């Protein structure tokens, strides 16, 4: 619920109060742009009327001009206006902060409004709702953080597993290469030994054949 100050005053043509009242009528018809124009005109004629700043802040809120609305409500809260107007501005500041997504500051604004008017049921309801929303938001952030950590751990484990598999394959390949090199060396050694053995055997056979040659005498 958003509080707008409505007050009945004599219809003085073109007076600040008349323009403000006209703005309130447009506001109630949900013509927030038209209401703003009337409030602006009233403010130009009498910048001291905080009620016009307040109503303009409400209209700014309705058209999603949230920063401007907060500026106007802050101006009222820091002024010497009546406690009732300041409490309403504080309450509406909470609504504006809530709408902008700043739940923590919205909660503080509702609490401040309740300190000024403990019987403000709307402020109590909005405070409880904002607190629940903040708890849900924090839980969602925690869940997301936990999920991100799980995903990161899973990714790291997968990378470590892939790296280990790569190392195992490399070690296996290195082992096979070493065994192949050893086998090649053994084959070469055996081949050399066989060549040496064959050469020795041929030499022996040659010597044996020479020993068998008969020497014929000349006639």
Taking only the tens place, the pLDDT of each residue in 68-105 is 999 999 999 999 888 899 999 999 999 999 999 999 99
Quick one: how far is CA 184 from the chain centroid? 60
Tokens linked to 215: 């020497």
Quick one: how far is CA 82 from the chain centroid? 42
Task: Share the mean pLDDT of the chain.
Answer: 86
DSSP letter string over 102-136? -HHHHHHHHHHHHHH-TT-HHHHHHHHHHHHHHHH
pLDDT for 217 beyond 60: no
Q: Which pLDDT band holds residue 9 (cuts at 50, 70, 90)? A: very low
Residues of the chain with pLDDT > 90: what percent? 56
User: Does the fold of domain 83-145 match that of domain 10-63?
Assistant: yes
Q: Which pLDDT band holds residue 1 (cuts at 50, 70, 90)? A: low
Cα 16 to Cα 39: distance, rounded to the nearest angstrom: 8
Give the C-alpha distances (Å, rounded to integers) separating 201 from 109, 194, 196: 110, 10, 9
Residues of the chain with pLDDT > 70: what percent? 87
Q: Which pLDDT band holds residue 214 (cuts at 50, 70, 90)? A: low
What is the average per-residue pLDDT within 13-29? 91
Query: Is the Cβ–Cβ distance between 2 and 13 less than 8 Å?
Result: no
> Following CA atoms 106, 99, 130, 109 in sequence, which dihedral angle do they give, to the nearest 10 degrees?
20
Classify domain 10-63 at the CATH topology level: 1.25.40
Tokens linked to 125: 């309801």
Q: What is the CATH number of domain 83-145?
A: 1.25.40.10
pLDDT in the model for residue 164: 85
Please tell me the pTM assigned to this model. 0.65
pLDDT in the model for residue 11: 43
Tokens linked to 115: 């300190």
Alpha helix (H) residue ranges in the chain = 16-28, 32-45, 50-62, 66-77, 83-99, 103-116, 121-211
Domain ranges in the chain are 10-63, 83-145
pLDDT for 209 beyond 70: no
pLDDT in the model for residue 20: 95
What burial class does residue 9 get, using C-beta atoms within 10 Å of its C-beta: 0-12 exposed, 13-18 middle, 19+ buried? Answer: exposed
């Amino acid at each position: 619920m958003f509080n707008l100050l409505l007050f009945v005053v004599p219809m003085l043509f073109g007076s600040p109060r008349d323009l403000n009242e006209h703005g309130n009528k447009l506001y109630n018809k949900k013509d927030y742009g038209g209401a703003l124009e009337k409030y602006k005109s009233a403010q130009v004629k009498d910048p001291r009327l905080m009620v016009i700043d307040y109503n303009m802040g409400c209209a700014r809120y309705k058209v999603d001009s949230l920063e401007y609305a907060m500026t106007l409500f802050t101006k009222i809260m820091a002024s010497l206006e009546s406690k009732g107007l300041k409490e309403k501005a504080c309450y509406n500041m909470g609504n504006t902060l809530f709408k902008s997504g700043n739940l923590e500051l919205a909660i503080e604004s509702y609490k401040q409004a309740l300190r000024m008017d403990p019987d403000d049921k709307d402020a109590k309801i909005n405070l409880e709702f904002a607190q629940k929303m903040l708890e849900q938001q924090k839980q969602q952030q925690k869940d997301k953080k936990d999920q991100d950590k799980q995903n990161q751990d899973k990714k790291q484990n997968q990378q470590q597993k892939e790296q280990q598999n790569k190392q195992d394959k490399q070690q296996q390949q290195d082992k096979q290469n070493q065994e192949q090199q050893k086998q090649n060396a053994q084959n070469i050694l055996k081949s050399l030994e066989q060549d040496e053995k064959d050469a020795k055997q041929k030499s022996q056979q040659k010597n044996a054949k020479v020993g068998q040659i008969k020497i014929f005498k000349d006639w």
